[in-house]
């Protein structure tokens, strides 16, 4: 966080530009979210559903470690490739020292997660999720006890995608707004583009992390809804890749550097739209499974419980 928010430190950072900064920006918000989710679950750790809780929490910790490791890899790439070599100084040495410590700790945590991994279980058999534990925690708080309950839990499960989009947009407004104010942006198209980029970033994170760790168990969905969601996520990921590697991609296409906001918007969002359409076409062309199994940590028992 210091390397991106403090001007003097950022000026000496080897990874201050994309594509390195894109990964750093993603991690500095998603890793704390995962850590907070794990911390909130601790008060009900010994409640019903211990095996599911252990598997899901282990997966969340693994996802958090992967994000940290990916960020460290990009930062080391910036160092080794000599990014901003002429502006390096004392702060650069401090940053590289911190990167060395983080990299070592990541290796240790990875080893501990692999060693402590319990018996594997299929996510389709999970009977408990993080949402249920969150409701249990709220039930212990007098102010929330009568406001958050089974009906709210059932609503979230039925409309999980809507919830993910809403949370992503809310987070994006805060981040894009702070960028616009801090950088003194006056171009409405640039501000709207930043809002779209941040929203798609967090939306992809929400859906993928939910698929990995089962934060919200979801009722079985139709094939068309699964195809639409997978295409949406593929498009969101493509937007992030196009944004992070825009200069290299534009050069490879013979278009030179990105010099205008309309080109930036068209290239990044267009890549996402094209990827979504292609993904939808490919998934639709695949033969349909006669009885598609539940996904994203969904068990058939959730239907009756909701």
pLDDT range class, residue 116, cuts 50, 70, 90: confident
Average pLDDT taken over every residue of the chain: 87
The Cα–Cα gap between 176 and 82 comes to: 30
- Using the Cα atoms of residue 114, residue 120, residue 125 and residue 128 in order, give the sign of their dihedral: negative
Q: What is the pLDDT of residues 268-291, one digit of tens each?
A: 999 999 999 999 999 999 887 655
The Cα–Cα gap between 39 and 205 comes to: 19
pLDDT score of 203: 97
pLDDT score of 295: 43
pLDDT score of 201: 96
Residue range 91-97: average pLDDT?
Answer: 94
DSSP run (H or E) holding 224:
helix 223-244
Please work out, in degrees rounded to the nearest 5, the angle formed at the alpha carbon of residue 70 by the alpha carbons of 51 and 125.
20
Q: What is the pLDDT of residues 140-166, one digit of tens each?
A: 888 887 778 888 889 999 999 999 999
| Residue of 276, 273, 277, 269 lying closest to 242 (CA atoms) | 269
The Cα–Cα gap between 267 and 258 comes to: 9
| Residue of 193, 215, 217 lying closest to 206 (CA atoms) | 215
pLDDT score of 93: 94
Tell me if the pTM is above 0.75.
yes
CB atoms within 10 A of CB 38: 16
Residue burial 254-282, b: 16+ Cβ < 10 Å; e: rest: eeeeeeebeebbebbbebbeebbeebbee
The Cα–Cα gap between 199 and 74 comes to: 22
Q: What is the pLDDT of residues 159-170, one digit of tens each?
A: 999 999 999 999
| Residue of 25, 1, 16 lying closest to 194 (CA atoms) | 25
pLDDT score of 5: 64
Residue range 55-76: average pLDDT?
Answer: 95
pLDDT score of 247: 82
pLDDT score of 171: 94
pLDDT range class, residue 251, cuts 50, 70, 90: confident
Q: What is the pLDDT of residues 213-244, one digit of tens each?
A: 999 988 888 999 999 999 999 999 999 999 99
Q: Which of 92-96, 217-221, 297-301 has the lowest mean pLDDT?
A: 297-301
pLDDT score of 302: 43
């Amino acid at each position: 966080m210091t390397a991106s928010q403090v001007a003097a430190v950022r000026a000496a950072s080897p990874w201050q530009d994309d594509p390195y900064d894109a990964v750093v920006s993603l991690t500095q918000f998603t890793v704390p979210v995962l850590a907070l989710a794990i911390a909130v679950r601790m008060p009900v750790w010994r409640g019903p559903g211990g095996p599911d809780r252990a598997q899901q929490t282990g997966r969340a910790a693994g996802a958090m470690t992967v994000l940290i490791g990916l960020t460290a890899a990009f930062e080391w790439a910036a160092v080794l490739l000599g990014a901003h070599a002429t502006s390096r100084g004392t702060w650069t040495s401090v940053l590289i020292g911190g990167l060395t410590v983080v990299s070592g700790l990541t290796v240790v945590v990875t080893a501990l997660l692999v060693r402590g991994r319990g018996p594997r279980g299929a996510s389709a058999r999970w009977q408990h999720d993080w949402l249920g534990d969150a409701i249990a925690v709220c039930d212990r708080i007098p102010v929330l006890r009568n406001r958050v309950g089974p009906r709210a839990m059932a609503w979230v499960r039925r409309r999980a995608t809507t919830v993910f989009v809403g949370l992503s947009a809310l987070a994006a407004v805060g981040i894009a707004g702070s960028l616009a104010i801090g950088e003194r942006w006056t171009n409405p198209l640039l501000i709207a583009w930043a809002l779209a980029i941040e929203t798609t970033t967090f939306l992809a994170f929400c859906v993928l992390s939910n698929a990995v760790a089962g934060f919200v168990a979801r009722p079985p969905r139709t094939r068309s809804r699964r195809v639409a969601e997978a295409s949406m996520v593929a498009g969101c990921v493509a937007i992030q890749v196009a944004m992070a590697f825009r200069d290299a991609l534009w050069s490879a296409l013979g278009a030179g550097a990105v010099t205008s906001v309309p080109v930036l918007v068209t290239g990044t969002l267009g890549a996402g739209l094209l990827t979504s359409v292609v993904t939808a076409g490919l998934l639709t062309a695949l033969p349909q499974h006669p009885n598609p199994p539940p996904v994203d940590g969904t068990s058939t028992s959730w239907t009756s419980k909701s």
